[in-house]
Structure 1
Amino acid sequence: MLPPILSNLRLPVVASPMFIVSVPDLVIAQCKAGIVGSFPALNAREAEGEPPLLEAWLTRITEELDRHNQANPDRPAAPFAVNQIVHRSNARLDRDVEICHRHRVPIWITSLGARPEVNEAAHDCGAITLHDVITPTFARKALDKGADGLIAVAAGAGGHAGSLSPFALIQEIRSFFDGPLLLSGSIATGGAILAAQAMGADLAYIGSPFIAAAEANADPAYKQMIVDCGAEDIVYSPLFTGVHGNYLKPSIRAAGLDPDALDSADASAMNFGRGDAGAKPKAWSQIWGSGQGIGAVRSVQPAAALIEGLAAQYAAARRGLCAG
């Protein structure tokens, strides 16, 4: 059963937090359109000596959504989420956890490790925690450490993706967990959202299509590359962060590398203490991540229009199945 905070969304969708790309403008637009918007806490980076930018972001998001709800009581905004990278190299974790606790962020998404103390901090302020996993083994560990829900990151997802089929991953997790379960991996249409539910997930977790949203903090060339590319334009490599992820081949070529002859790297290369999510110098800012579902992305458009399209497709897919 879904907790109340996830039960009344316009669409059963959580927008995934994307490094650099997800910023308050995008989160607010996603929430106002009826899906959970999210951003990584590490995206809020202030200059040395300045007050934490995360404080300002949370204040702005909360106040804008409150104003929207007062003006639109019949169509309130969805809640928002903040992603905490709990990898041991994230020197900001304790500070960011304290800020999110104080601002009573309603949904916490945790990645790259699971820590009981982070889950406890979230629960102490009334929040729920969703932890992303790529295998059933990691799913069990996250639940043992207090996560409320799981995000199954299957093959084809953008960023740090797993390699298991979504059918296998959802099936095995559902054999021991009946709580909130999200599916990530190539979901870019309303029909795919419905398919995620049909195989046992409660919600879809969607990232890459929102790179092409007008409100996304992405280079215009990055947005256009999302529009122009498809599944065959994605390469799966550990080179850039030490963990396997999916990246756009044209951006790799533009950085002077051969996407078909990349070196390897191991997890020891990952370092979130440098402010660049452990990437090598050209990753993320020049070498761009993306999931395999981007063949469905046809244009750069506002997030609200993208969500409107997903909602229409979702409704049509449901009608089609019922008619059959």
Structure 2
Amino acid sequence: MLPPILQNLRIPVVASPMFIVSGPDLVIAQCKSGIVGSFPALNAREKDGEPPLLDAWLTRIAEELDRHNQANPDRPAAPFAVNQIVHRSNARLERDIEICHRHKVPIWITSLGARVEVNEAAHDCGGIALHDVINNTFARKAIEKGADGLIAVAAGAGGHAGPQSPFALVQEIRDWFEGPLLLSGAIATGRAILAAQVMGADLAYIGSPFIATNEANADAGYKQMIVESGAMDIVTSSLFTGVSGNYLAPSIRNAGMDPANLAEADASSMNFGSGSSKAKAWSQIWGAGQGIGAVRGIEPATDRIDRLAEEYRAAKEAVSRR
């Protein structure tokens, strides 16, 4: 049984938080369209001496969604989520936890380490905590430390993707865990959303297709590269952050490197003090998952979600007929 906050979504989708790309514009559009929108807390970066931008972002999101709900009581917005990078190099973590607790953020997504105090803060303000994992060992640790649900990040996902097949990863987790389970990894169509549920996940976790939307805070060239690329254009490498991730090969070539001959980097090089573990030299190396072949153009997030909803409905009807 899903917790109430994850029930009654228009379609069973949580939009994944993407570094730089996810901000208030995209989150608000996603939530108004009936799916959970999310952003990394570290995306909200103010200049020295300015008040915390995260505070302003959360205020704006809450106010705009509240106005939408009052004007549309028959189709209220979905809840939103904030992603906390709990890696030891994130010097902002304690401050950002306090801000999210004060704003009563409804869904907390944690990455790169399971921390009891983050889960406790989420629960204390009435929220739930979801932790992303790439294998069954990390999944067990996350639940032991108080996470309410899991995000299985399987092969083909954008960003710091795991190496395991979604079939294997979901199967192993479902052997012992009956709570909320999300699946990430090349999900870009309504049919793929339904497939994730058939495998045993409750919800799909979708990121890369939303890079090519009007509301995404992404370079125009990045958006167009998503449209023009497919699964064969995705390269897995640890060079850029110290942890294995999936990137667009054309962006690597544009930076003067050969995607087929990249050096490896050690996880000790990860440092989120500047908001990302990616060095400034790699700022034009763009991440994406293997599902981008389904993205045909740049469009409003609402249109993309409408299409996902229609594809999901059609896929369920097709399966019923069979």
| Fold similarity call, TM over 0.5 | yes
Matched with 1:192 is: 192
Find the residue that maps to 1:272 and give its secondary structure.
coil
RMSD: 0.5
Matched with 1:314 is: 312
- The residue correspondences of 1:66-215 to structure 2 (distance < 5 A) are 66-215=66-215
Matched with 1:60 is: 60
Which residue type is aligned with residue 183 of structure 2? L
Find the residue that maps to 1:48 and give its secondary structure.
coil
Structure 1 runs of 4+ aligned residues shifted over 3 Å read none
CA displacement, residues 97-150 of structure 1 (integer Å, 9 cap, x when unaligned): 000000000000000000000000110000000000000000000000000000
Find the residue that maps to 1:273 and give its secondary structure.
coil
Matched with 1:29 is: 29
Which residue type is aligned with residue 155 of structure 2? A
Residues of 1 paired with 2:303 and 2:139: CA distance?
34
Deviation at 1:282, TM superposition (A): 2.9
| Structure 1: 5+ residue stretches without partners | none
Matched with 1:3 is: 3
- The residue correspondences of 1:220-259 to structure 2 (distance < 5 A) are 220-259=220-259
| Structure 2: 5+ residue stretches without partners | none
8 Å CA contact 1:255, 1:282 repeated in 2: no
Residues of 1 paired with 2:141 and 2:27: CA distance?
29
Residues of 2 paired with 1:148 and 1:289: CA distance?
28
* Residue 304 of structure 2 is aligned to residue 303 of structure 1: no
Percent sequence identity is: 78
Residues of 1 paired with 2:253 and 2:274: CA distance?
25
Residues of 1 paired with 2:54 and 2:278: CA distance?
21
Deviation at 1:281, TM superposition (A): 1.8
Deviation at 1:186, TM superposition (A): 0.1
8 Å CA contact 1:234, 1:246 repeated in 2: yes
Residues of 1 paired with 2:250 and 2:5: CA distance?
39
Matched with 1:39 is: 39
* Residue 261 of structure 2 is aligned to residue 261 of structure 1: yes
8 Å CA contact 1:23, 1:43 repeated in 2: yes
CA displacement, residues 142-196 of structure 1 (integer Å, 9 cap, x when unaligned): 0000000000000000000000000000000000100000000000000000000
Which residue type is aligned with residue 278 of structure 1? S
Which residue type is aligned with residue 27 of structure 1? V
State TM-score, norm by structure 2: 0.99
Find the residue that maps to 2:105 and give its secondary structure.
coil
* Residue 280 of structure 2 is aligned to residue 281 of structure 1: yes
Which residue type is aligned with residue 305 of structure 2? I
Deviation at 1:278, TM superposition (A): 1.0
Matched with 1:48 is: 48
Deviation at 1:207, TM superposition (A): 0.1
Deviation at 1:274, TM superposition (A): 2.4
